[in-house]
Amino acid sequence: MPVLRPAQEEIMDYPGGRMGISAVPGSGKTWTLSLLAADLIYRGVLKEDQEILIVTLVNSAVDNFYQRISGFVKSSGLLPNIGYRVRTLHGLAHDIVRERPALLGLENNFQIIDDREADFLRSDIAQAWLNSHPDVLDEYFDPEVDESRREWLRREQLPKLIKDIATSFIGHAKDRQLHPDQLKTVLQNLPLPLPLAQMGWEMYANYQRALAYRGAVDFDDLIRLALQALDSDAGLLDRLRRQWPYILEDEAQDSSWLQEQILRTLAGPDGNWVRVGDPNQAIYETFTTANPVYLRNFMSEPGVIRRQLPNSGRSTYSIIRLANYLVEWTQHEHPTSAVRDALQSPPSIEPTPLDDPQPNPPDELSYIHLSLRKFSPAEEVQAIVKSLEQWLPEHNDSTVAVLAPRNQRAFDLVDELRKRQIPYHDGMLRSSSSTRFSAGSLANLLRYLADPQSSSKLATAYKVWRRSDRAEEAAKARLEQNVELLRKIGRVEDFIWPGPQADWLEESGLAQADPETYAQLIEFRQLVRRWQSAILLPVDQIVLTISQDLLSEPPELAIAHKLAVLLRRASTDHPGWHLPELAGELAVIARNERRFLGFSEDDSGFDPDKHRGKVVVATMHKAKGLEWDRVYLMSVNNYDFPSGFIKDVFMSEKRYIRDHLNLEAETLAQLDAALTTNEYEWYQEGQETQHARLEYIRERLRLLYVGITRAKKELIVTWNTGRQGEMQPAVPLVALEAFQGGFEGGDA
């Protein structure tokens, strides 16, 4: 067994039952939980066929757990992959539902649509709702807004707002396990109408209908149905309880009520359930159903063993001190006293003990710069880029990230980095590209095969084939030139299948003028001919044939294989479909079903060390769990980090809505009101908007805390005045700067 810190020793002494562990950033939650799993296996607590169930938040963590546990298990001389199962909550729910789908009215091979596809659906539904109820939201417009502007708002702004409302409404209704039918009954029997709840219900009903039509469930349904299966089938529940006598849960602060309920049910009243989390890092809950309160409540339940993981070897002492100060300041000095519970201690972050295998970086390497200088948004970007320009050449072996509160700010920075030709990595700003890439490429090729006379589709096919050329400037130029060349072919047959009279390639003169292009085009022609003759095969075989020519990476080939199977199913279901329909289906599939696939890079986790000498640009949310030598936090102003002052502007309160109402929050409040059994609790307009403000302020404080604790040695924080020039530095930033100044005697 590796050397353990005293706090870790205490956790390893786990005697069974319920245990809650509060951890701090960088304290090795995953490592400790993995070790605990391995230790339990080693102790021999498992009977035949039993497994330790490890539940975590995201796919990348799943891999991480597997690797670590199998490392520990192997070092104890046991076979890996036996005795434990790592799942995200959605993966676990999928496992449970998959046990007996028929009982839940699902087919064996039911489909799961991912968030992105679900979002498309909700957009459509929101738009349709708006079209049929164009005036329902009128009473919420700010009276100052005139009719012509209202018209514009209905067209440009309301669809997005209504979709957001639908999203949170549906999520919350599912979290409460409410079926649209039940909700309908509730709403019909109200003494007073609740128009927003009514709107939410209508969209929810339409959304479920759209899912049923596709024979699909969404991620929330998966959780809901899993719990339903456990509740309704005692035999299944007994079996699963036997199978998983120990449940270890990571990132428990981001659990929703329903998710917690699944684990609670699986663990049973006397079960073994260990929950690890850092409530200070709960940053997913705004309008989602996640809430750190559930973890906090769990910790205070009777019989729960409480443990801490306070030591972190990640950051220098100065950075730790700054992060701890943010907690302390929030608890005691935050100007809005209602949010002083946003950050909790104990535990505070403590450095690792002497002789620890993960010593903290020496403090002399520390550099903290909290800038209160007033920048416009553009100036802020310039300042950061300039700083990077100076720093990067001398730190090619270091890791650095710029973290923004929102995607848009991050993209602004990426634009500037590109202009200045500073190496950067912006992959974290985009969703998994690998799947879509390969499915999209195949779709493009199918589109060409469906229309083989089209020179522009042929050119696109060529672009797909030579896609790696895009990475390098010279090759890229040639690629573009050749694409143009192909696009202009008048008669495609004269290139692909030339006759004795007309041979486009020979007549082009490329053989002499550009032998390399000539050779490429000959190769391309061979491929196209082969693909064309594959066209009589069933679609799965077309796809496999093409992908063997086009792809070489195992994950890409694996996706292609899966796509082949899916397309085959689609073509069996729709015997009349030809290539254009199938290409369209491919585009739909491309957006789908990604969360369970181990196919994309971001599933195997982001590793900052692989991007040394490059600027990683990401949002603070996405940076959770990661660390860099140097970290820039940008846009730390009162818009992204409000504190409850009069001047603060809240993103969720639209300027065109009267009384600063947050309609998303008000809709949820109406849902709550409709469901309440307490006759003294009734919906009061505006109350929930205030609540939502406080929740938002809390979440943003934690987000700042997460941002700060990403830095190992160096931290730079800046703010900007916003587009209108009216924003202020965030209050916590000012407080931190004052605190830091006390140590340094002024701006560094």
Partner 1 sequence: MSTLNAAQRSIVKKPANTSVFLEGPAGSGKTTAGIARLQHLLNAGVTGSSILILVPQRTLGAPYADALRNPGLPPGGLPSLLTVGGLAQRMVELFWPLAAEAAGFAYPNQPPIFLTMETAQYYMARLVQPMLEEGAFDGVTIERNRLFSQILDNLNKAAVVGFPYTEIGPRLKSAWSGEPTQLRIYEDAQACATRFREYCLAHNLLDFSLQLDVFRQYLWPNASCHTYLLETFQHLIYDNIEEDTPVAHDLVQDWLPHLRSALLIYDSEAGYRSFLGADPQSAYALKEHCQEHAAFARSLVSSVEIQSLTASLGQYLVHGIESPGEIDPRPAIAYEYQRFYPEMLDWVAQQIAALVHEEELPPGEIVVLAPFLSDALRFALVNRLEALGVPARSHRPSRSLREEPAVQCLLTLAMLAHPEWGFQPTRFDVTYALMQAISGLDLVRAQLLADIAYTIHQGQPTLSSFSQIIPDTQDRITYRMGERYEHLRAWLLDYQHNPQAADLDHFFSLLFGEVLSQPGFGFHASYDAGQVTANLVESIQKFRWVAGAGLAQAGIPLGKEYIDMVQKGVIAAQYIQSWQLQAEDAVLLAPAYTFLLGNRPASVQFWLDVGSRSWAERLFQPLTHPHVLSRHWQPGVTWGDADEVEANQQVLHHLATGLLRRCRQQVYLGLSELGEQGYEQRGPLLHTYQRVLQGLVNQFEQGEG
Residue ranges binding partner 1 (CB under 8 A): 48-49, 79, 81-82, 85, 91, 98-105, 107-108, 215, 233, 235-236, 239, 449-453, 491-493, 496-497, 499, 532-533, 535-538, 540-541, 543-544, 548, 554-555, 557-559, 561-562, 564-565, 568, 572-573, 575-576, 578-579, 593, 596-599
Residue 35 beta carbon to partner 1: minimum distance, rounded to whole angstroms: 21
DSSP 655: T
DSSP 194-223: -HHHHHHHHHHHHHHHHHHHTTEE-HHHHH
Which CB, 497 or 682, lies closer to partner 1?
A: 497
Residue whose CB is less far from partner 1, 366 or 434: 434
Tokens of 687: 């109350």
Q: How far is the CB of 737 from partner 1 (least distance, A)?
A: 48
User: Could you tell me the two tokens for 204?
Assistant: 């929810």
Comparison of 82 and 365: residue with beta carbon closer to partner 1: 82
Closer by beta carbon to partner 1, 582 or else 636: 582
Sort 320 into a burial class: Cβ within 10 Å, 0-12 / 13-18 / 19+. buried
User: In whole angstroms, how close is the CB of 503 to partner 1 at the nearest point?
Assistant: 13
Q: How many residues does the chain have?
A: 748
3-state secondary structure of 742: helix
Nearest alpha-carbon partner for 618 in 707, 744, 739, 748: 707
The DSSP line for 24-75 is -TTS-HHHHHHHHHHHHHHHT---TT--EEEEESSHHHHHHHHHHHHHHHHH
Q: CA-to-CA distance for 576 and 216, rounded, in angstroms? A: 23
Which residues have a Cβ under 8 Å from the Cβ of 740 and sit 6 or more positions away? 322, 368, 370
Q: Closest separation between CB of residue 448 and partner 1, Å?
A: 11
Q: What's the rounded Cα separation, in Å, for the pair 326 and 736?
A: 7
Quote the least distance from Cβ 54 to partner 1, whole Å. Answer: 13
- In terms of CB distance, is 504 or 683 closer to partner 1? 504
In the bound state with partner 1, the residue whose beta carbon lies nearer, of 438 and 728, is 438
Closer by beta carbon to partner 1, 107 or else 355? 107
Find all residues with CB under 8 Å of 686, minimum gap 6, and list them.
Answer: 659, 661, 666
79 or 513: whose CB is closer to partner 1?
A: 79
Q: Are 126 and 203 in contact (CB under 8 A)?
A: yes
Query: Which conformational region is residue 49 in: left (phi greater than 0), alpha (psi within -120 to 50 degrees), or beta?
Result: left
Place of tokens 């692989």: 610
How far, CA to CA in Å, does 226 sit from each of 57, 408, 504?
A: 17, 37, 61
For residue 149, the tally of other CB atoms under 10 A from its CB is 14
532: which 2 tokens? 């064309």
Judged by beta carbon, residue 540 or residue 664, the one nearer partner 1 is 540
Q: Which is nearer to partner 1, 213 or 680 (CB)?
A: 213
> What whole-number distance in Å separates Cα of residue 731 and Cα of residue 737?
10
190 versus 205: smaller Cβ distance to partner 1: 205
From the CB of 78, what's the least distance to partner 1, in Å? 8
Question: What residue has token string 């304290």?
Answer: 27
Minimum distance from residue 527 beta carbon to partner 1 (Å): 14
The nearest distance, CB 601 to partner 1, in angstroms, is 13
Phi, psi (deg, nearest 5) at residue 629: -60, -45
Cβ closer to partner 1: 37 or 735? 37
Smallest distance from partner 1 to CB 730, Å: 43
Which is closer to partner 1, CB of 275 or CB of 594?
594
Count of C-beta atoms within a 10 Å radius of residue 433: 13
Q: How far is the CB of 276 from partner 1 (least distance, A)?
A: 23
Strand duo 424-425 + 615-619: pairing = parallel
SS3 of residue 378 by DSSP:
helix
Instruction: Report d(CA 289, CA 284) in Å as an integer.
Output: 9
Residues 6+ apart with CB under 8 A from 578: 450
Q: Sheet of 400-404: strands edge to edge? A: 367-370, 711-717, 628-633, 400-404, 615-619, 424-425
Q: Report in angstroms how near the CB of residue 496 gets to partner 1 at its nearest.
A: 6
**Residues paired with 56 in a beta bridge:** 88
CA distances from 633 to 243, 285, 330, 384, 567 (A): 45, 21, 19, 10, 45
| Nearest CB to partner 1, comparing residues 194 and 567 | 567
Q: How far is the CB of 179 from partner 1 (least distance, A)?
A: 13
The minimum distance between CB 565 and partner 1, in angstroms, equals: 5
Task: Please report how close the Cβ of residue 435 comes to partner 1 at its closest, in angstroms.
Answer: 9
Cβ of residue 328: shortest distance to partner 1, in angstroms? Answer: 44
Contact 208, 169 (CB under 8 A): no
Which is closer to partner 1, CB of 108 or CB of 148? 108
